[in-house]
Every structure is written in C-alpha cells, then in structure tokens.
Chain A
Amino acid sequence: MAVHTITVEPTGQQFLCPDTKNVLVAMEYLGCDGIQVGCRNGGCGVCRVQVLAGTYTAKKMSKAHVDEADLAAGVVLSCRIFPTSDLTVRVCPKPTVEPALHPTASAGNDG
C-alpha cells in the first residue's frame, strides 16, 4: 500500500491518503474537513474538486456533475479518485439549490 499526501486548496489543509482509499473518505478518516462531504459514492456532486497537480485513477461518477470537458480539465468527484502520486486539489463544487426555511416569492401561492 502506497501512501500519498493530499493538499486541499484554498485552505492548504494536508492529509495522508493510502492508494486503497478514495480521497474524500481518507480525509474523513483523519478528521479533516477541507472538502464538503455528500453521498461519498459519485452521485450527488457535492465533493467536486479540480486536480491541480498529481495523478490518480477514477471510478465512474455522475455525468450530471462531471462531464467530458470536466474530466479533461481534471475536474472530478473526490469520492471517486484514488491517488497514484501526491495530489493538490482545489475545491470547486457546482452551485446547488437547497430547501430554505425562509419563504420566498416562489414558495407557495401567497408566500
């Protein structure tokens, strides 16, 4: 088992990742939090990052969150990549919409 150092921008947080674990789960195991955690299985897109330096292998990830152009630019879901060298990644989540407790003009007939 090889172990690599992951650096997360913009915080600069660093943690070790064995090549048997994906980057996101390795981060969680060590109590780090530089990348937002979602489904951890390539479906929800919350943990999207761009790899700025280093090499990795990747499992399938949702094409709704990572398209071909993204993959070519090193944009991946961190829960689906396994490092084969030290990596530097920059957090780049897609904008998401969340339910809000505060009513808006679009909520309800007379909200």
Chain B
Amino acid sequence: MAITGVLRPGHMQLKVLDLDEAVEFYSNVVGLVQTGRDATRAYFKGWDERDHHSLILRDAGEAGMDFYGFKVADDATLATLEADLKNYGVTTERVPAGDLLETGERVRFQIPSGHLIELSSQKTDVGNGMGYINPPPWNEAAERGIAPIRMDHALLYGPDIEKVQALFVDVLGFYLVEHILLEDGKTDLAIWLSCSTKAHDIALVRNEEPGKLHHTAFLLDSWEKVLRAADLMSMNRVTIDMGPTRHGVTRGTTIYAFDNSGNRFETFCGGYQSYPDWEPLTWTWDEVGPAVFYHDRKLNPAFLGVYT
C-alpha cells in the first residue's frame, strides 16, 4: 500500500524555560541540527531529515507542548482533509504561510484530548547535507551528540482518547496498532496509532487533565546507539527517567529522559513494521507493567505522575 494522505509527524513545538539553554541542550547533547531562529523560537531537525525542521523550541517560561503537526502529501490533500475535518464537526483554522519558518499554510484544530494538532503540505526541503546524487551513507552530524535520525512520534496525555482515535482513524486515515485496556476490559487506558508502517506515529494515554505531553521521541538506528545515548546522558548530567530498556508495546528499545526544561524525551530504536490490515495487539490491565517497561515488568511512579 502506498503511503498517501497524512505522511508522517512533521513538527512539534515545545515550550521551554530558557531558550538559550534549551538550544544548547538540543544542539550539543541531543545532537539535533539547528536550522533557524525567529524572535521567540529556535528550529531543529534530525541529521537525516530533509524538511527544514521537525522540532521548534519556544521560550515560554513553562514546559509542555504548543502543538504537534503532521506532513500531508500535497496541497490538494490538505484541502481535502480540511474539508473532511469540518464535515466531521471539527473547527479548523488556517495559520498563514511563513508563521513557521520555511513552512506553508497549516490547518490547525483541537482534538478532544485538548491538544492542538496541525496538518501542512509545504516545508522547504533543505536536505540532509549529503545531496541527492551518489550520496554517502552518513556525515559528521550523524555522530555529534546523541544524533537521532529524526523526530519519530509523541505520547500525549488527555481525556476522551476514544474520540481522538475515532477522529484520527475515520478522518485522517490512521489505524490502531496496539492498545492497553482498563480493568473493565473494554475502555482503553492507552492507544498507539499509525499513519504509516511505523508501530506508532502518535500515542495517547487517558488522563483527566487535557492537553499534556508525556514525551517526544527521537529515532536511533541500533540498540548500541541507545546505550551510547545513555552514556552521553550521564556524561552531560541529563536526568534519566527510565532505561535503557525495552517497551512491551511496539517492542521498541528506549530511554526516557528529561530536557533542561523538564520535558520528557525518548531515544527510541526499533519497533516492528506494522500494516493497516493487521489485527491490533491488546494488552490487559494486569499486564500494564511489562506493556510499558518490558524488563522491569512494572510502571515507575513518574510514568503516570510526571508530565508537562
């Protein structure tokens, strides 16, 4: 099946306590490539991403997420999805081209969990620095800091996640990959949704407080590089929340850590390739420990209680 419609996560705007300190952290410790700066924001991408940016940092005096955006195939797709959202009863607005550097118009809407989601079709292709003809496999940016390949996915906390799932599946073409059930055996505690063959492009955990961020994930290409990331975290006094370990859900290998504003981020590797016709995997409430942290087989208190 060709990937059409919504292609992938496109951008995340994070709120930070101090922009200069956050820029230093994401440049030198995480090892993202800085691609721009405007009056209040700094723009970054993973070394192998081609679009101008995927992570935007905004000086906000607090932590958390402003919005999470997806790249769609083209302008016609953007218009179609905008109309589909309106027909579904979702209020949308157009954010002008250029509001984010090197980015076209964005369609913004609030989902039932309280988060702002965006769709956009135009972002300048700045490339990965290796060109499009006879390219080398990697360059020096691939080894500076943790050096993730790309921003990969996000886990959001909020209410009414069954309504979010319906919107993403019925309107935006996502499909359910895995879910964790509550004690009643029918209501979901958490859902993992994909618009691609990734095990997840967005995940949600049910929580009363709307609009919160659990983590933003960055992709690494080997378990060895996850361990290297753990070394770099300790060398730089980065506070690790959990790991290195493996998730039961998605099978991904992982570290949860916090940036210097307290936003949790994940260095993630693996996860299996999924397809839209596959039956979703189900985890029951009594196995939520290994579902989240496969080796420890239990949740840590911070997984539930610490978010921004």
Give A contacts to B, CB under 8 Å: 25, 36-44, 46, 60-65, 96-99, 101-103, 106-111
Q: Which of A25, A63, A98 has the most CB of B within 10 A?
A: A98
Contact yes or no, A62 B206, CB < 8 A: no
Contacts A99-B205, A108-B186; is A43 near B304 (CB within 8 Å)? no
- Assuming the contacts A42-B17, A64-B64, asked whether A102 and B308 have C-beta atoms less than 8 A apart, the reply is no
Question: Contact between B183 and A103 (Cβ–Cβ < 8 Å)?
Answer: yes
Given contacts A60-B17, A63-B62, A99-B189, contact A40 B258 (CB under 8 A): yes
- Tell whether, in the assembled complex, residue A43 and residue B308 are in contact, meaning their CB atoms are under 8 Å apart: yes
Interface stretch among B68-76, B96-104, B259-267?
B259-267
Chain B residues 226-279 with CB under 8 Å of chain A are: 239, 241, 258-264
By the criterion CB–CB under 8 Å, are A40 and B262 in contact?
yes
CB-CB under 8 A from A62, the residues of chain B are 17, 61-63, 261-262, 308
**Contact of B17 with A61 in the complex, beta carbons under 8 Å:** yes
CB neighbours (8 Å) of A25 from chain B are 239
Given contacts A98-B207, A111-B182, 14 further A-B contacts (CB under 8 A): A39-B306, A40-B258, A42-B262, A43-B17, A64-B63, A64-B64, A99-B189, A101-B285, A101-B288, A103-B187, A106-B208, A108-B186, A108-B188, A110-B186
B residues less than 8 Å from A98 (CB atoms): 207, 304-305
- Contact status A43-B186, CB under 8 Å: no
